[in-house]
């Protein structure tokens, strides 16, 4: 079988897999450091709480953090015909390159190789029937985002930003990229929107509040909601216990629940 035939076969497998997945969402950001993976993980579990069957594809090949953040151990299990079973933690199906590389070793690959891994995950992983497959993309607007958009055919893009102008500037680029890729539904989440004091529980305007909402309105895309900074958020992410599971009554968890409802509403409109 030549290379062209292999690519055609791979595309056919992707098409077959996508038929079992009702909705595909890419989660990305214009820049790093805005908490995109934290948002993707907690949104996934918030959607599971809404009785949805969810998978998450860790498409950040050079910085795969999803297994750590959900507390996953072990390796994906191979099946026959070069198929792979995703790992499952608390009903969330997860696929990442992280378990397949040695600890602390960099993935020094050029764009085509990284994109090839994403394509393989979409074609070879047995996701089964899902309500939503979330793809946690690397920051920026590079090859992996293009590959995911072209192969996944996402119905929705979620762009994560923080309230500062330096983040909003890159977020606008990400929104415009989603528009150019003809992703019909685009939503913005403002992360690190205010700081909840662990002592008095008061919310402090630390990085600012409202920049993401204003930007979404200006660019005529959906504003999904905002997430504050809480100490538990960071602690839970490091410990592999997502905050929406460990502290369901926290402000962060309540806000994620509202965002999940907004996502489902937009998908069904």
Per-domain residue ranges for the chain? 3-268
Taking the CB of residue 265, how many other CB atoms lie within 10 A of it? 11
* Averaged confidence pLDDT in the chain: 87
Torsion of CA 95, 99, 102, 108, to 10 degrees: 0
CA distance 155 to 146: 14
> Between β-strands 130-136 and 156-161, what pairing exists: parallel, antiparallel or unpaired?
unpaired
The answer on pLDDT for 41 being more than 90 is yes
What digits encode the pLDDT tens for the residues 197-249?
A: 666 666 666 566 778 898 999 999 999 999 988 888 888 988 899 999 999 99
Q: What is the mean pLDDT of residues 38-64?
A: 94
% of the chain beyond a pLDDT of 70: 90
pLDDT category at 269 given cuts 50, 70, 90 is: confident
Q: What is the pLDDT of residue 61?
A: 84
Does domain 3-268 fall into CATH 2.60.40.10? no
- Higher pLDDT: 177 or 167? It is 177
Q: What is the mean pLDDT of residues 51-61?
A: 94
């Amino acid at each position: 079988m030549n290379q062209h035939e292999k690519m055609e076969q791979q595309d056919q497998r992707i098409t077959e897999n996508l038929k079992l997945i009702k909705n595909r969402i890419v989660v990305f950001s214009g820049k790093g450091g805005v908490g995109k993976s934290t948002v993707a993980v907690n949104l996934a579990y918030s959607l599971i709480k809404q009785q949805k069957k969810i998978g998450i594809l860790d498409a950040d090949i050079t910085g795969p953090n999803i297994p750590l953040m959900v507390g996953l151990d072990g390796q994906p299990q191979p099946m026959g015909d070069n198929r792979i079973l995703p790992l499952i933690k608390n009903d969330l199906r997860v696929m990442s390159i992280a378990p397949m590389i040695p600890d602390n070793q960099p993935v020094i690959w050029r764009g085509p190789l990284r994109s090839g891994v994403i394509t393989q995950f979409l074609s070879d992983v047995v996701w089964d029937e899902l309500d939503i497959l979330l793809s946690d993309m690397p920051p920026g607007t590079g090859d992996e985002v293009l590959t995911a958009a072209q192969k996944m055919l996402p119905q929705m893009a979620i762009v994560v930003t923080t309230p500062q102008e330096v983040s909003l500037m890159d977020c606008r680029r990400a929104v415009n990229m989603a528009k150019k890729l003809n992703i019909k539904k685009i939503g913005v989440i403002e992360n690190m929107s205010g700081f909840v004091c662990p002592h008095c529980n008061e919310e402090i305007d630390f990085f600012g509040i409202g920049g993401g909402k204003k930007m979404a309105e200006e660019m005529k895309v959906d504003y999904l909601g905002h997430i504050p900074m809480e100490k538990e958020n960071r602690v839970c992410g490091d410990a592999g216990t997502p905050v929406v599971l460990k502290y369901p009554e926290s402000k962060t968890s309540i806000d994620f629940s509202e965002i999940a409802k907004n996502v489902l509403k937009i998908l069904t409109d």
